[in-house]
Structure 1
Amino acid sequence: MQPNPTQSLGDVTTIAEFRSRLRQLKAWSGHSFRALERRARLAGDVLPASTISAMLGNQRRGLPREETVAAFTRACGCTRGQTSAWLQTRKRLAVTAEQAAHSVVASSKGTDPPAASAASGSPPSDTAPPLPLRSGDPTTASRAPKARRKRPKRGWRVLAMSSMTLVALCSAAGSSGPVVTSDPRAGDLVSEVRRCPGQLAMNHRGPCVQRLQRMLRGKGLALPADGWYGPFTKQRVTVFQAYVGLPTTGTADQDTLQALRTGEALALPHWPAARIEERLREAFPTEHRQATELARCLSYLDPLWTYKDGRGVRRWGLFQYSDLELLEMGASPVHAMNPEWNIRTARVIWRRTGDFRHWECRSSGAH
């Protein structure tokens, strides 16, 4: 068995090397993407298999998010100290990347970057940010303050004017379309504002998707804000649509986005895996192990799990009741995503048949 890559983190100096070590860690763990997702869920983390795949893939070049690295390393079997070492390495690389970015900005303005000044033998006071000046200081009172005050003031003025321009345009446009402005004073700030499409769907990427994910989190739905509209994001959009009475398409259309912008957080069930297992022991005292394994296979013990099979039939909750079954029961997907209702209904079916033949467990990835 290959050694744990945590032991060689001190040699990592680039983001590419860090991502390579993460791939080595997955290989060391011996777990598949789905197994890591399951292990993370049992530990109380949110780590979809799609997020792991994107983090370890070659399409992205930036640093993974801190919470993603923490959940991933824990799922791989790292101890608390090893997870801390991964996070410290990530922090070190983030600081290095930020310093490099500042050097580029300084060079574009015609000034020496901090690293270059240090290499030329300049004293530390020239490379470090200037300290606040005390009144009456005869050595520096006449020089640095004016130059240091003008830049932030101008920057804040540009930022404020850009923000007011964006707000005005948003108010004028309502929800009809994206924001565009040609105000030359906004500079690079406004040029970075992207046009968000009328709807967001599978495999969309970028800040528009990240904003959608944060809006879903604001409604109480747990998911990473990684900027990728993958299967797990589609699943959470579907859950939100079911709760607010919209068609459960899994696509964030205009009606869905409007509903996300208004209203309060959803009254969602927040049952950790331990509580679900305890309730299953109560409901199935003689076969609680089989009931737990079945629910874990069907839904990863996630009360909000929804899955559309190959025939286009969508299923809901811990024991994955189909839309047709819910219709016959006079229930809705919201009922099915209530863990107490879901477990009680499973017990009724179990008592009627005498076993768990009603269910067939297959890999139920998020769709």
Structure 2
Amino acid sequence: MDDAALDLAPQATTAGEYVALLRDVRRRSGLTYREVSRRASATGHWLPPSTLATMLGRSTLPRERTVVALLAACGTTAGEVERWLTVRRDIEAHLSERDRVAIQETGTTTAPPADPAPPADPAPPAAPAPPAAPAPPADLAPPAGPVPPELVSPDVPRPARRRLRLAAVALLAVLTVGAAGTLLPRANPTTDDAPTDDCPVVLRQGMYGPCVQSLQERLVAGGLFVPVDGWFGPDTTSRLIAFQALGGLPVSGTADGRMLDELSGDLVAARWPEERVGKYVRKAFPEDPAAAVQVARCLSGLDPYRVEIAADGSRRWGVFQFSDVELSRLGVDRRTALDPVWNVRAARDVWSRTTSFEHWDCAPLP
């Protein structure tokens, strides 16, 4: 992404200027509409080429999730995406009440009135139609639909016949649309902040948007604190893995619909705050409590539910960060590793064999 395109974002003051800058971002990216759509899908967004073309072809304010999908596909950073959204919200705040209602119902502002079309050449006067015949009884009325030419009386003037055909076609279209309306479900308009069914089948690290934010809110509500910023980063992955381990679920670090259903209510029955963990560590290492707390803080921030993921995919668990290999050797599962009592006692057993903390090579946490 060309930084010059990003620097233009704060200069937009109208919906038309905002969309023009989005068009410039897409142009500078060098991506086709289909390539943008594929990249948006890879980052967890839904942006069909037709939707993108419609958005960039208008001078009306697009909805937030569509803007985020385009910018994410073009490689825009999180900070720059937030700048774009701030500009959009400022523009929306100055719209008329009618336009704000239109955004809530359709996702875009009402289109500006088009220039009046030039008057058409006057048509020659049509020949007067003959007096209408009395309507036939209902059971003898002809079926709705275009009137075949052979059923039109040859003494009816040509313009009148054309009007009859157009009326029949219009009636058939109305009946068809009405029937379709009774068969197809009616879509409920939603705002950007309301839950939608547009979420990807699987949420995974690297994605961004309201679906990820909903996942983060559920983790926090269950006692597993994580920044609720809409970004599926390492912290969210760590917390999701902790939840999966605590619940005895497959530890994948990704969330599908079933996983989101599981994320309700209290996930952690008894949350151990940092102060309580530190107190328990001091009690377990009376010989050198300060050093024990320092090591535990360095390893996990005294967070009993911390899961660290190494570059090779291996993981470390709990207060003293026992590895997958160590858990296998000790014959315990990951849920047990996240139990602060077991974790600290296991660390005490390791320490008692050497009376030193050299087993843990820890660099201070960022």
Return the TM-score normalized by structure 1: 0.50
Return the TM-score normalized by structure 2: 0.50
Report the structure number with the largest CA radius of gyration: 2
